[in-house]
A and B are shown apart, each in its own frame.
Chain A
């Protein structure tokens, strides 16, 4: 057996940490009118999935593959919607006097934030439980 629960929880801590950075970036850019290059900011979210290579699934045949935790699969744009505000004195206003802001779904970002923090914490809990188990194994035969 070569599956380490502590290593598995560690992959999840990494992924959730990165997800948290994307959420923070979306919230921080709620009032950003343009990014480098002149375009409007697009909210992004992180996509993660189980860390299982297809080759390994084939190699192991019909048996269920050994678990290897999770990994980042990529980044996707959450939505291309924009919020247009009439503000002719803004330096980024267009010729009709409208400023374009990204349409960030505040409630969605906040629920994702709470969910991510919860999952991060519970992974930490399981990690410390697994660590305790490993330490207990060292007590075998000690009297």
Chain B
């Protein structure tokens, strides 16, 4: 088994999960005018936390799925503002993870004798 180090495995799975969540949020917002709509969501943090306790192999085997979210009735109002806020938060977390991965890679690069 050629498992990547745990940090890299967890970070790349988290990037997967976050970009799936972004798709779910974009879909829920795209259907803001759809009467009787079933929202979708992506919950991956708990599964990722449990798998990371078992090691990198378990993390790499993880698969995330879209889940059924709130079901909207005909006259329910849609909180477009909250959806945009969630999307902004997701994008910020994605950015932070990319930043962290970059730091980690530059440390490895330095350890291998490269410059900067």
Q: Nearest residue in B to A119 (C-beta to C-beta)?
A: B32
Q: Does B106 contact A (CB under 8 A)?
A: yes
Give the A interface residue count (CB, 8 A): 44
A136 x B95 contact (CB < 8 A): yes
Q: Does B6 contact A (CB under 8 A)?
A: no
Interface contact tally, CB-CB below 8 A: 132
A143 x B23 contact (CB < 8 A): no
A3 x B20 contact (CB < 8 A): yes
Chain A contacts of B81 at CB under 8 A? 122
Question: What's the dominant secondary structure at chain B's contact region?
Answer: helix
Chain A contacts of B54 at CB under 8 A? none
Chain B contacts of A3 at CB under 8 A? 20, 23
A49 x B84 contact (CB < 8 A): no
B24 x A67 contact (CB < 8 A): yes
Q: Nearest residue in B to A130 (C-beta to C-beta)?
A: B22
Q: Does B50 contact A (CB under 8 A)?
A: no
B65 x A64 contact (CB < 8 A): yes
Chain B contacts of A8 at CB under 8 A? 23, 26-27, 30
Taking beta carbons and an 8 Å cutoff, which residues of A are in contact with B? 1, 3-6, 8-9, 11-12, 15-16, 19, 47-50, 63-70, 115-116, 118-119, 122-123, 125-127, 129-130, 132-133, 136-137, 139-143
Please provide the 3 A-B residue pairs with the shortest distance between their CB atoms, ordered closest to farther: A67-B27, A12-B30, A5-B26
